[in-house]
Chain A
Amino acid sequence: MATALDVRDLSVRFDTQHGNVQAVDSVSFIIEEGETLGLVGESGSGKSVSSLAVMGLIPSPPGVVTADAILLGDRDLTSLNAEALRKVRGKEVAMVFQDPMTSLNPLLTVGRQLTEVLEVHEGLSQREAYQRAARGLGDVGIPAPEDRLAAYPHELSGGMRQRVMIAMALLCNPKVLIADEPSTALDVTIQAQILELMKELQERHGTAILLITHDLGVVAGMSDRVNVMYAGRIVETADTAPLFDAPCHPYTQGLLGSIPDLTGVAGEDLYSIPGQPPDLAELPPGCAFAPRCERARDECTAAVPATLEPAADRLSACLDAELLAREGGAR
């Protein structure tokens, strides 16, 4: 299978008055065509910033983006100028946002906003564009799509709007779809529908999806591989099933442990990782997770731990990775 997106050594820094904030630190990942890569982490761990950096949408100043390469197919996005990058956005890389309530322009009809993509990238006539848009709406399961084109966003429910956003993202058949918490703002039944829809469309079009979320349930259901991010770094990478079975990084362990369990005793405190995520402007030396880690020892704070390969096809940035892998395997 061909590689859809290959990000190598991406770093994003924001130079602010309060110091330099290293939002993303040497992040690399690969998404194959038709594959879903989950990007998991707490708020502020750099998930969204990495995706915006891929799109070339980090405002500069204050943002400083460096990367060895961001390969989309065989083209390096880092070598493109602003205008060329603009032509890639929406056509080859599309994005779905978290909050469908605010990501549509309240003053333009749904049809007008859908056709904008086609106008910008394909120069279709109005008539053709509207037909394509109607088909796009039909594909995301909106009934009577022709009528809906005349609707304003405030006339649609949240789930409907998210469908519109997905339709908009997929109109030009992009190679990569970045879904930034696509289901977070929706209620649970709609969440399931939207995720199901994304899966179905992915199968039909072979789109690669970068799924950004902090909902481990969504990741388990949707993605083929998972990257766990903490404080701007990827701390663990693995296929979904092995990751859930045997996490090889204490942070991943903590995340999985924090999921409330239906078998728990009523009134008992839920597990949470002790401490707070670090201030990105003043990262602790060595492993950023060390201050909150039960296994932390002097070595951990001496230098940033190297990325180890504790088992086949998985990576972990923890000194105890192999130990954790064995423990997990034994369990």
Chain B
Amino acid sequence: MAQANRERWDLGGTQMETLLTEVARFKGESLWQDAWRRLKANRASWWALVFLAVFGSVSILAPVLPLPSPTAIDLQIEPQPPVAPWTELGNDGYRREYWDLNALDEGLVSLRQSVFGDWQFSNWLGTDAKGRDILSRIIWGSRTSILVAIAATICSLLIGVSYGATSGFLGGRIDNLMMRIVDVLYSIPFIFVVIFLITIVNEYRTELEDNWGINREVVFYVVIGAIYWLTMARVVRGQVLSLRETEFVEAARVVGASSARIIFVHLVPNVLSIVIVYLTLTIPAVMLFEAFLSFLGLGIEPPKVSWGLLAVDGAEVINPVRIYWWLIVFPAAAMGSTLLALNVLGDGLRDALDPKLRGKD
């Protein structure tokens, strides 16, 4: 092959050798691989990522772990304090009581029963006033909170990126109009919008659920997502605005690529690094928002658990006579550490994806 090339293009010997050595050391490294390497070198972000991965797996695997039921009520006089695992690892008091789980989770719970039988962990983190296990509630609650966060973030991502990229790419009057719409939406206090939408949805909830299969939670995701796309759209639009003047976009036009193609094949991958960084900051914001709405009674409804509802339970028992600290400390610690990890990861991702920005805010 090399010989054939040499004859064919009549390149000088040394010239060809240089080219061939260039080929030899050649193994495509994309910007993503490069970023991944840099992320691994950043110790704080790496541990944040590990923490999130472990926490995420535990959360996904919740139904198969030998946790007590998060909803099985055992009416007692007062919340039970934590039992250290080394004094009592577990007992045989498991009761299969959940809210309406989907088929997959039902299956997983059955799997748990066939493996562990009635054995369950003791109340390592104590119980609440109704005798429900806090550890189990935190882990099951994390599923709800993480799901809301991810679903709402994806929703905001889809709307924000397409809106922002289109606006920035088209430019001129259309861009102006689209951005003014964003400004108007920004100026509406969105907590009212959420309360308004959720109230309306409550009004028609049976209808929606029967006819469209839309339950309150789906609406919840979409509503939060529909609010958080605004900043995403602005960020993406700003990036696209500078990218569309670059020569490779001109080159794509010259090749005959359509506008949609230029936006989604050439521009969007180039803004992804910023979008990803922004995502890791949106997820915690959405989580907090979910907790806030659930706290107000507008979000997730009992018997389901979410971190917001746990905070409600915790806040209820704070009184001057006797403080059941485990009701507030453990849920808060779980939520706080997750949010911290997400923020640290976001910071590390920004450094990894855009080395030029390192050390700046």
Contact = CB atoms under 8 A, between A and B. Distances in A.
A226 to B, nearest CB: 24
B110 interface: no
Contact of B9 (A94, A141, A160, A165): A141
Contacts of A147: 23, 26
B22 interface: yes
B255 A102 contact: no
Interface centre among A55, A104, A144, by most B CB within 10 Å?
A: A144
A155 B251 contact: no
A116 interface: yes
B28 A105 contact: no
Most buried by B among A104, A105, A155: A105
Contact of B246 (A102, A117, A141): A102
Given A97-B247, A107-B269, A143-B23, A57 B31 contact: no
Interface stretch (A11-19, A28-36, A82-90, A126-134): A82-90
A151 interface: yes
B34 to A, nearest CB: 9
B31 A88 contact: no
B106 interface: no
Interface stretch (B189-197, B257-265, B288-296, B315-323): B257-265
Contact of A94 (B2, B20, B254): B254
B29 interface: yes
B21 to A, nearest CB: 10
Interface in B9-28: 9, 11, 16, 19-20, 22-23, 26, 28
A117 B255 contact: yes
A103 B253 CA distance: 11
Contacts of A150: 28
A89 B256 contact: yes
Contacts of B251: 95, 97, 103-104, 165
Contacts of A231: none
B198 to A, nearest CB: 40
Contacts of A99: 247
A92 to B, nearest CB: 9
A90 B247 contact: no
Interface string B92-118: 000000000000000000000000000
A120 interface: yes
Nearest to B267: A105
Contacts of B19: 143
Nearest to A51: B254
Query: Which label, helix, strand, loop or mixed, suits the secondary structure of the B interface?
Result: helix
A104 B248 contact: yes
Contacts of B76: none
A61 B247 CA distance: 20
**Range for the number of chain A residues in contact with chain B:** 35 or more
Interface residues of B, number: 33
Contacts of B172: 61
Nearest to B255: A90
A87 B256 contact: yes
Given A107-B269, A157-B22, A89 B28 contact: no
B101 to A, nearest CB: 42
A108 interface: yes
A152 B270 contact: no
Contacts of B270: 105-107
Interface in A154-177: 155, 157, 160, 165, 168
Given A105-B248, A141-B9, A143-B23, A152 B255 contact: no
Nearest to B18: A157
Nearest to B27: A150
A109 interface: yes
B277 to A, nearest CB: 16
B1 interface: yes
Contacts of A94: 254-255
Nearest to A140: B9
A47 interface: no
A32 B54 CA distance: 68
Nearest to B19: A143
Interface string A50-84: 00000101000100000000000000000000000
A151 B247 contact: no
Nearest to B10: A141
A148 interface: yes
A292 interface: no
Given A102-B247, A102-B248, A141 B253 contact: no
A233 interface: no
A148 B23 contact: yes
A121 B256 contact: yes
A116 to B, nearest CB: 6
8 contacts: A90-B255, A94-B254, A99-B247, A107-B30, A117-B256, A120-B261, A147-B23, A168-B255
Which 6 A-B pairs have CB atoms at the shortest separation, nearest pair first? A90-B256, A90-B255, A89-B256, A103-B247, A102-B247, A95-B254
Given A86-B257, A97-B250, A141-B9, 16 more contacts: A55-B254, A57-B250, A90-B257, A95-B251, A103-B251, A105-B270, A109-B30, A116-B252, A116-B257, A144-B1, A144-B23, A152-B28, A155-B26, A157-B22, A160-B22, A165-B251
